[in-house]
Structure 1
Amino acid sequence: MPSSSEFKDFVLECLESSTKGHRFSAKKMFGEYCVYVQDSHAPFEHPKPLFLICDDTLFIKQYKELATLLESTPKAPPFAGAKEWHILDVDSSALLGEITQTIVPLLPTPKPKNRTKKHKAKNTKS
């Protein structure tokens, strides 16, 4: 069952209130959502994927830096065929803030998308 936009909005509100200095956004993917984080002090930096919302549940990948912090959280695959991820309690703002502060500096900057040959050819004609 796809996640509801109401739950996505609730998660974004909880994330925004749990940490200062970061902005959160979500994009729909196959009926579910990927939650992105962006440093408020670097507005031109690309947002980085951080959480998944699947079946109205918030997931985060199993990072070694979060192992002790999330050792008591349940784990489950967010979708069929996926590895297990940690399931997070959306109402735990202290935990969400600590996760964000720990992981965001370690996330790699997303690579820019390659333009297709068709798009490049169209631009060279002009």
Structure 2
Amino acid sequence: MTTLAAPSNWFRRAELWLDGYGKPAWIAAMVLGFILFWPIGLAILAYMIWGKHMFKSSCRKSYAIGGAGKSSGNSAFDAYKADTLRRLEDEQAAFDAFLTRLREAKDKAEFDQFMADNRKQRDAETRDVSAPL
């Protein structure tokens, strides 16, 4: 009966040891698993993803917790923060519009170049066909 408990105890100790060293240890174990025998690496990768070890502390999650809508308790600072965020959103929208116009201008220039090249090629072919033999 102790033999059945030993593998899970060994696995749990290994898991706790890797957790102590953080994500780099898990990634190193996964790479080592792939080097030794690829199903081991694949199993570690699956465990990291489904066990939430790989994405335990996400930047997005910590940013959302600190959130932009949270009040600091200082009304002057909150007004400044809201004004700054609104200005940044406006700048982002203006920049996105600029990029769209830039892409459209590039596409138009490329299309105009294609049409000019195509026209030159057609003119050259019609000159070759209409030339006397």
TM-score, length of structure 2 as denominator length? 0.24
Using structure 1 for the length normalisation, give the TM-score: 0.25
Higher helix residue share: 2
Higher relative contact order (CA 8 A, sep 6+): 1
Larger radius of gyration: 2
**Bigger strand fraction:** 1
